[in-house]
Amino acid sequence: MRGIRTGGRSARVRAAVLAATIEEFVGSGYVELSIEGIAARAGVNKTTIYRRWADREALLVDALSDWSDSTVSAPDTGSIEHDLVALTDSVVDLLNSDLGRAVVGTVAAARDRNPELVDATMRFLAARGELVTPLVLRGIARGELPVDTDVAALLATLRAPLYYRIITTGEQLDETHAGESVAVALAAVRAGLLRTPDAGQST
């Protein structure tokens, strides 16, 4: 019974279902997220959804990935500092959004209780995090960063103060917070920290 047409209508249905999934997730949270609710919001039949996605986790992963792909790209300003500030500004924008708060709140609360959901949100965060890799590679090529810079450690250092604030104080973030994160991360790099474990440990 699989549809043969894969052109315009199929793409429109997919976009509508993914958008409805994000809206339901933000509005109702993960516990209340249902294929029924998504289908109703998207104006399609449940069977249309089940034909394409195995379950709501798979659908949520797809929706989050799609949303992320469509909203951010890796900056390329010619300077590692400016690139990192631009990228971290986009992290701030995400964490200030209803979707970003839903993702972070969900992953924190679901840990130890819902591995599929943790996996879905972690894959979203990992996909977003991959944007930092080309920035770091270009920074290394320009001689701004050591060749053994640990991309994951740098990303964690950029993100951590922002996540910490979101979780503990719940305050809105702004460009000042992004700038502070970048300044601390670059100070750490210049002090010989944030290097891959196999080389150049400073302690």
17 or 125, CB closer to a copy of itself?
Answer: 125
- Residues interacting with a copy of itself, by CB under 8 A? 101, 104-105, 107-109, 111-112, 118, 122, 125, 153, 156-157, 159-161, 163-165, 167-170, 179-180, 183-184, 187-188, 190-191, 193-194, 202-203
36 or 175, CB closer to a copy of itself?
Answer: 175
48 or 90, CB closer to a copy of itself?
Answer: 90
Report the nearest approach of a copy of itself to the CB of residue 157 (Å).
6
For 30, phi then psi, to 5°, come to -70, -35
141 or 183, CB closer to a copy of itself?
Answer: 183
Report the nearest approach of a copy of itself to the CB of residue 52 (Å).
29
Contact 12, 39 (CB under 8 A): no
Report the nearest approach of a copy of itself to the CB of residue 58 (Å).
21
Report the nearest approach of a copy of itself to the CB of residue 2 (Å).
37
As a whole number of angstroms, the longest Cα–Cα distance in the chain is 62
Report the nearest approach of a copy of itself to the CB of residue 98 (Å).
10
49 or 154, CB closer to a copy of itself?
Answer: 154
